[in-house]
Structure 1
């Protein structure tokens, strides 16, 4: 079922003779949904109609959790709400030996059921526009493979990961290396062992066999951050004609200010703190911790004497908005009373961009999901990197070794071990209260300034986006 219908000429932007329409096909997980929603907003600013195709539940979730933009932009996007079959989703399991969220595994198979409705949508739009441009999450290659059968359609694979992690994954799978790497590649690369479950590894391997039909690649990164790795990916490409566009950061770099009564209480608290004095702690929407690890983190925060905002919520299930009975994470007894003068614990969705953009925020303890990395980089906030699964261990290398704007909480080889409160205390003090941390903060601020400027007029990321839009409207 379609969430929005368009007018008879196929768009709502007032174009009398629509030539091009863009169709977004995101993977149904929060860290993927929001990236293509951000990109939809940017494309709409070029007066091109955008169709966002997903399940009804996932579209609702993406809209509900949108932050940083005016929600009025949602009225300008054509949301197409499709139904997925009912599937079971186990509750999040905080097992330190299996850090990848097994509760999300059902999404990989369930997402395949979008193939037919998305194909019908593309066929219908192909009769209304001169060209259909499909931007699909690289994990949705199975769903949009029928685009090859539509004569006036072309597709672009969107890579929602760091260019470094993508390059390393491809490079390691090539038996005979086509060229020699230079010294810019980090030497201590964590292994992929433990990053994904066997089921997810198999799913991704099968997707790679399908890829190759796309006209190009889009990356949520900036050449200021990862230009060398985007160039290496271009060099590795089997299709010399494929276009590569680094159009990030996709998240807004200037957050919209709200009236005082609409601002989150944590932002009002931040207003009263000193510049750069607060550590923000959040591990994204797919991380679960044991009660024992939560206790150690709580004690480390308390003993560090640093001010903090801690987002402590259960991980999303495969259907994030479904009312599944899952026990919320537990803190030590009277903990919040003990730290009330120095810290805030948030147990729901937090305005992360606004927190990172606030001048009082001086550090970010993060799982290093790519959204969080890009948001932290673009807001000029150094990171305490605590990777959990997927691409996160290699994102942590980018943050700590390549960009040198962060410090590692624990090595990936020790991922199954409990991180003790003393380790957490030392990491926080290093980041916020040491000369080493001060240097990280200075580098982060300098890089953040450059990245924010890159999306402005004549900036490198803005020019890259202009180039992509010129290409698809040629």
Structure 2
């Protein structure tokens, strides 16, 4: 296999600025690790807020050569809890305040890059890689003549739709429930697929201002890395290429092995694996709404009733419902009377409170489907293991990810959104679950297609001709070329 064996500068330095949100650390860390694996001469520095850097440090092996640099960040100055250094620390209504607050990291980041450029020419930054939410970093890169790359942690289709909706607000130009996207007229949206923020946006609100700023910065970056696989998202990649007109490299970081030791420990992990080991192949439904999401109590009740009435076994990562203390204890009254005892006695279900080893669950032979909020990391992990998705998107790009999965025949939508009126009935849960995973599942095609894409995604990192491997090489070559022209 051909790799770029050297860089123009003796100590090429790549700065990777990670936005402080739980779902962003993993893809950025995987990118950094992959770069260092193939180009060990690279100096790689991970930058983020102090608390996020501390979290990243705890996840790295003791012999890691990745550098870490923390930037001072004071959430309390913006009316946020003093400890809120990540989106994971906040409820959804405070997200936009947090997003705006991270723009105040500009001065500290500028000082950091200035010191690198001024004090050690051989250690000067060759490339800055940042998140879409940190678009302002392109101004710092231009100031010091450094190659700038945005790493999009959402999917290509979801990103293209997200950008178009926030840039154009097309739903404000019509009274119809259905409307097309200006850049992509072939994509027809429905108002029910928009978040509360989008439905309320009119172009003068804070979310509109923030996202339009990031989209403008995106058009100024030198290149775009995307957390996806070319063969999986050819449609979305084509959409972004049409509008951004800059190099786009899909480099979905490879999944960690499902059997690797857990970095986090769960009291339920042994019980989870024992339960899965006792079930027939492809018979268990795994349910998780991600690390920051939950649903209404009434929705929770209907989902539990439908699961009990269906024919499949399940593992449900369950959190307190919306409106309660998400960090508090779970109350049995939020579920049907006797539900927990019945599923335990019948050995048909397992409730998990807190963290669960998602990759191990998805990689287990007994897991047959994933009832998911369709967060992009979860989509990639499910597809990477050939597990079809029962979609219940709750917001943001999740709804657009669900659209794509259904169009590709890789998922079935159960519900949409977290409002009580958007939840499924008991009968709907039974119908959809039995369609995809019941013992007489009618939709066997969805399982076949999921396995096909598992093979496609796993080949993306083949060292001879894998699409993600080639994209990573092209990215490093572009950094090299930019450095030579400085």
Q: Distance between the aligned counterparts of 1:137 and 1:455, measured in 2?
A: 23
Q: What residue in structure 1 maps to residue 24 of structure 2?
A: 32
* Cα gap change, 1:61 to 1:258, in 2 (>3 Å): closer
Q: What residue in structure 1 maps to residue 49 of structure 2?
A: 55
2:150 paired with 1:147: no
Q: Distance between the aligned counterparts of 1:396 and 1:387, measured in 2?
A: 7
Q: Distance between the aligned counterparts of 1:156 and 1:301, measured in 2?
A: 45
Q: Distance between the aligned counterparts of 1:316 and 1:59, measured in 2?
A: 30
Q: Distance between the aligned counterparts of 2:194 and 2:63, measured in 1?
A: 39
Q: CA RMSD in A?
A: 3.3
Q: What residue in structure 2 maps to residue 105 of structure 1?
A: 96
Cα distance, 1:206 vs structure 2:
2.5
User: What does residue range 390-405 of structure 1 map to in structure 2 within 5 Å?
Assistant: 390-401=396-407, 403-405=408-410
Task: Pick one of 213, 217, 226 that aligns with 2:224.
Answer: 217
Cα distance, 1:303 vs structure 2:
1.6
Structure 1: gaps spanning 5 or more residues: 1-14, 91-99, 318-323
2:357 paired with 1:356: no
2:248 paired with 1:244: yes
Cα distance, 1:335 vs structure 2:
2.7
User: What does residue range 167-206 of structure 1 map to in structure 2 within 5 Å?
Assistant: 167-171=160-164, 173=167, 185=186, 187=188, 193-194=194-195, 196=197, 198=201, 199-206=206-213
Task: Pick one of 371, 383, 389 that aligns with 1:383.
Answer: 389
TM-score for both structures, normalised by structure 1? 0.81
Stretch of structure 1 that moved more, 463-472 or 355-364 = 463-472
Q: Distance between the aligned counterparts of 1:195 and 1:221, measured in 2?
A: 27
Cα distance, 1:372 vs structure 2:
0.8
Q: What residue in structure 2 maps to residue 135 of structure 1?
A: 129
TM-score for both structures, normalised by structure 2? 0.79
Q: Distance between the aligned counterparts of 1:306 and 1:289, measured in 2?
A: 21
Q: What residue in structure 2 maps to residue 459 of structure 1?
A: 466
Cα distance, 1:149 vs structure 2:
0.8
Q: Does the CA-based 8 Å contact 1:52-1:78 persist in structure 2?
A: yes
User: What does residue range 246-395 of structure 1 map to in structure 2 within 5 Å?
Assistant: 246-248=250-252, 250-252=253-255, 254-258=257-261, 264-265=269-270, 266-313=272-319, 326-331=327-332, 332=335, 333-340=337-344, 341-395=347-401
Cα distance, 1:141 vs structure 2:
1.1
Q: Distance between the aligned counterparts of 1:352 and 1:124, measured in 2?
A: 41
Q: Which structure dedicates a bigger proportion of its chain to helix? A: 2
Structure 2: gaps spanning 5 or more residues: 1-6, 82-90, 171-179, 482-486
Q: Does the CA-based 8 Å contact 2:289-2:372 persist in structure 1?
A: yes
Cα distance, 1:159 vs structure 2:
1.4
